[in-house]
Amino acid sequence: QALHKKVTRKVKKTGVIYSATKTGPLNKIKNFTSHFTAKVKERELDFETRPGVFSHRRLDAGAWALIRSMQIKKGMQVLDLGCGCGAVGIAAICSAPNVSVTAIDSYSRAVQCTQHNVEKNLDAAEQKRFTIVQTHSGEFQHNGQFDLVLANPPYFANFKIAQLFIETALHALKPSGKFYLVTKMPHWYEEHLPEFFARIQIDPQGDYSIVKAHN
């Protein structure tokens, strides 16, 4: 009755049926989509995000620190782990000529946002070099082909997702490839990354640290 003035109730042997007829206009559906902009290599990028997609309403400070730190060279193959709205991967492909990016995420809404932002910000040639994959396990077919893996791991789940990102990066990288991640907890990575990578470097970036690893 909070929704309709008249509600009819019919009692049956197997249950109760409530019925009502809506006579007024449909309620307006709320749109929680938001936008933010970021400038990369003199290109003004406009990102659309939705609730639950990283990062919503503004570019996350950690993601921005990672974008400023990544060293993208011509023709690189780049993997964006946990792509969220696609900001890091899109920034990477805009940073040098002929860069190819694969962006992966477990969340279908994030994949949708990334696809929308790729179509909105990249030209046709760049879009052909940008691949989006939805996977919950971190497994995909192109292991051993990437020059650079980028990640901004979440802090929840007792580093289980971070561990998955590390293992995925290890298998995804070329022998000479590098793994860059941003974190507020560099000591955990300083302790655990040597199990997987021979060389570890930690560069403070304000409240964050960029952890760089390679073999």
Query: Could you give the domains of the chain?
Result: 34-214 (3.40.50.150)
Number of H helices, E strands in the chain: 6, 11
**Residue 65 backbone zone (phi > 0: left; psi -120 to 50: alpha; other: beta):** alpha
pLDDT tens for each residue of the chain, 215 residues long: 555 667 888 898 888 998 888 777 655 667 788 999 999 989 999 999 998 898 888 899 999 999 999 999 999 999 999 999 999 999 999 999 999 999 999 999 999 999 999 999 999 999 999 999 998 776 667 789 999 999 999 877 789 999 999 999 999 999 999 999 999 999 999 999 999 999 999 999 999 999 999 99
Cβ atoms of 127 and 105 closer than 8 Å: no
Cβ atoms of 93 and 117 closer than 8 Å: no
Prediction pTM value: 0.84
Helix or strand run (H / E) with residue 40:
strand 34-40
Angstrom distances, CA of residue 101 to CA of 7, 9, 107, 115, 199: 56, 58, 18, 13, 24
